[in-house]
Amino acid sequence: MSTPARFFLRSPRSDDLARVHGWMADPAVHGWFDFGQGRQQVSTVALTLMARSPQYCMKVFGEQGTDAPLGIVVLSEVQHPFGSAHFWVVRDRWRSAYRGITAEASRALLHEGFDRLGRCSVNAWAVETNERSLRLLQDLGFQVFGVQQACHRLGGRLLGRVHLELLPERFYRQS
């Protein structure tokens, strides 16, 4: 018998996207991202367009019994003809939750990516000093395949990005 989920995972509503935008407006958060050509901030309108686009699979998550999300997990480029996708996640850094909720929500989205969306590989990257993200990705089964040196500006420093990939076989062995 399976254990009931301790978290909810659902498609974001417009009020959820406004909340996510609020988290990502924080320089301590958006500095870790790159939404193309060095753009580290994303507007609520852009988040709404992403949520409506078939190129994205976005889900907000939070503790069961509440309605307020405390994070978002995203697969982008889910219609790529080669069967790949890109993974990213954001958590509300001011709210606490039970240990492991981000990993559980991430696993649920990755299951959807491999099973329902038929992805053959999922990639991600994290700034080399972002130990928390690197630990999450490796705990999910992602493997490092390279480091892009001196390509991400953060706090006046030029840092590298660690590139990782996850194949379904490894993911299901880890799950």
Q: What pTM does this model have?
A: 0.93
The model's pLDDT over 123-172, given as tens digits with 9 standing for 90+, comes to 999 999 999 999 999 999 999 999 999 999 899 999 999 999 999 999 99
Can you list the alpha helix ranges (DSSP code H) found in the chain? 14-25, 27-30, 44-52, 101-115, 131-139, 168-174
Give dist(CA 119, CA 68) in Å, integer: 29
pLDDT of the residue at 2: 59
Could you tell me the two tokens for 28?
């301590």
Write the CB contacts of 172 (distance below 8 Å, at least 6 apart in sequence). 114
Burial of 169 (0-12, 13-18, 19+ CB in 10 A): exposed
- Which domains are assigned to the chain? 7-174 (3.40.630.30)
- Whether the pLDDT of residue 1 is over 60: the answer is no
Rounded mean pLDDT of 77-85?
A: 96
pLDDT digits (tens, 9 = 90+) for 65-76: 999 999 999 999
Residue type, 104: E
DSSP 8-state symbol, 42: -
